A = this chain, B = another copy of it.
């Protein structure tokens, strides 16, 4: 903020009142004579006065800002999440500070977001370690976790989605409707809760349909287009036979499609593919992707609302699980 500027004192002088009065009309913290208030307002407008955020924070102990901690900012998955967060943040009149933790371990101890610059934090899976989370919890700092259960059974509210049942449903669809028997599952990043639960859903579906489990059908795609493509190329090269792929997320489905296309395998005639998330591009793929619709934008919105409540000292549910639903398109073999 190089060229400093008009402060509350300038406004006060211009309006012929004290800074306390200006502060009052600014924040509505106490009654002010109507006419006086009007004078103050004109002065503010005339001087183009905007309160200095840092000074205000220092005095009031509020930042009016919430922080969002993400592993990365691009990737189709985060679009609706950001949209939801942004909408709810705006609606609450707050600011949004975003930070991504992608592979920048050298900054691990910089603590770019925390109690020193935000009123509360939204923390997406794996973007903050258990130690820091524990510290924040111990000082009573408002935090809401996204797609991730709290470590050490800490009592931190969570907003997530129905991963397991969603995954189970879509795998059962492959089995029951399309008669699939050998279903490849592409795991997400190691330790990723969404992936773990989706894998559990996969197992439950097999079990409920009495299909034997074959570990060679589980490969890691890391929820990444290229990694998924590589994983599929490997499994093809290894000669593993399969009739379908549950890609764990939608992004991976792109890589799988590419790999299969290059191998000359037709989708869905020879191999069925289903994903998870229903990202924006899912219905523009060739063929349109059958997937599980995740209410990601709602996750963002609800998480902000929960966080705002916590900041205001209210109690919130410990765990909000938004429901998912099967979205049938053509990549599974339906509507062909």
Closest chain-B Cβ to A215's Cβ sits at a distance in Å of 30
Closest chain-B Cβ to A217's Cβ sits at a distance in Å of 25
Stretch in A98-106, A145-153, A186-194, A270-278 touching the partner = A98-106
Range of interface residues on A (Cβ < 8 Å): 35 or more
- In the bound complex, residues from chain B placing their C-beta under 8 Å from that of A62 are 1
Q: DSSP class of A's interface residues: helix, strand, loop or mixed? A: loop
Q: Which of B51, B96, B117, B135 contacts A54 (CB 8 A)?
A: B117
Q: Determine if A254 is an interface residue (Cβ-Cβ < 8 Å).
A: yes
Q: Determine if A325 is an interface residue (Cβ-Cβ < 8 Å).
A: no
Q: Determine if A13 is an interface residue (Cβ-Cβ < 8 Å).
A: no
Closest chain-B Cβ to A313's Cβ sits at a distance in Å of 8
Interface centre among A73, A114, A115 (most CB of B within 10 A): A73
CA distance A134 to B36 in the complex (A): 30
Which partner residue on chain B sits nearest A6 by CB separation? B139
Q: Which of B48, B55, B57, B96 contacts A99 (CB 8 A)?
A: B96
Which partner residue on chain B sits nearest A68 by CB separation? B98
Tell me if A1 and B61 are in contact (CB < 8 A): yes
Closest chain-B Cβ to A153's Cβ sits at a distance in Å of 22
CA distance A113 to B50 in the complex (A): 10
Tell me if B61 and A58 are in contact (CB < 8 A): no
Closest chain-B Cβ to A64's Cβ sits at a distance in Å of 9
CA distance A113 to B90 in the complex (A): 13
Tell me if A98 and B98 are in contact (CB < 8 A): yes
Closest chain-B Cβ to A15's Cβ sits at a distance in Å of 18
What are the interface flags for A47-87 relative to B under an 8 Å C-beta threshold, 1 for contact and 0 otherwise?
A: 01011111101100111010000001111100110110010
CA distance A93 to B112 in the complex (A): 9
Stretch in A155-163, A164-172, A279-287 touching the partner = A279-287
Q: Which of B4, B75, B285 contacts A61 (CB 8 A)?
A: B4
Closest chain-B Cβ to A209's Cβ sits at a distance in Å of 31
Closest chain-B Cβ to A298's Cβ sits at a distance in Å of 14
Tell me if A2 and B141 are in contact (CB < 8 A): yes
Q: Which of B65, B79, B257, B311 contacts A75 (CB 8 A)?
A: B79
Tell me if A115 and B48 are in contact (CB < 8 A): no
Interface centre among A76, A281, A287 (most CB of B within 10 A): A281
Tell me if A95 and B90 are in contact (CB < 8 A): no
CA distance A100 to B280 in the complex (A): 20
Question: Which residues of A does B touch, CB under 8 Å?
Answer: 1-5, 48, 50-55, 57-58, 61-63, 65, 72-76, 79-80, 82-83, 86, 90, 93, 95-100, 104, 107, 110-119, 135, 139-142, 254, 257, 280-281, 284-287, 311
Pairs across A and B, CB under 8 Å, 8 listed: A5-B115, A52-B116, A53-B117, A73-B82, A76-B79, A90-B99, A98-B98, A281-B284
